[in-house]
Amino acid sequence: MKTVIQRVTEASVTINNKIVSKINTGLLILVGIENEDTTEDIDWLTKKIVNLRIFNDENDVMNKSLIDINGEAIVVSQFTLQASTKKGNRPSYIKAAKPEIAIPLYESFVKEFENKLGKPIGTGEFGADMKVSLLNDGPVTILIDSKLRE
């Protein structure tokens, strides 16, 4: 499971010209799911992300987590994170999980993230054409791959 985590001062997801999720200070998290991903990946990633100390403390040092600042989050499924660009110029998405595998894992990720954060979060809509808007704060953008945790 691959994630792109962006610290934001605001973010939103729009589908068919309707805003379906909107947050202020917090994280916009893009999630790419592959066939080999499991609930173990979800547990590890959600714990890692809610506890990442990437928000500034009173001394302007990145020393606070999403939990510490009582921040908000949006989680968006993005199969293109599983792109392979080894051959040619057209990315291959062969590693991206098919919907029958990806949807339950995405839903589990959202539920587990909400449990660890202690409040509801925003989402996109799996498979929809989404317009994601954000104001990256910093900028702070972090990539985490659950297969590279050791």
What pLDDT is recorded for position 72? 98
Q: Which residues of the chain have pLDDT under 70?
A: none
One-character DSSP codes across 7-26: EEEEEEEEETTEEEEEESSE
What pLDDT is recorded for position 150? 72
What domain range is 128 assigned to? 2-148
CATH of the domain at 12: 3.50.80.10
Say how many domains are in the chain.
1
Residues 5-27: pLDDT tens digits? Answer: 999 999 999 999 999 999 999 99
For the question of residue 80 being annotated catalytic, the response is yes
Start-to-end CA span in the chain (Å): 14
Q: Which residue has the tokens 């057209």?
A: 90
Cα distances (angstroms) measured from residue 4 to each of 74, 84, 140, 146: 12, 16, 10, 12
What pLDDT is recorded for position 62? 97
What pLDDT is recorded for position 71? 98
- Write down the catalytic residue from 9, 39, 80, 141: 80
What pLDDT is recorded for position 111? 98
What pLDDT is recorded for position 149? 84
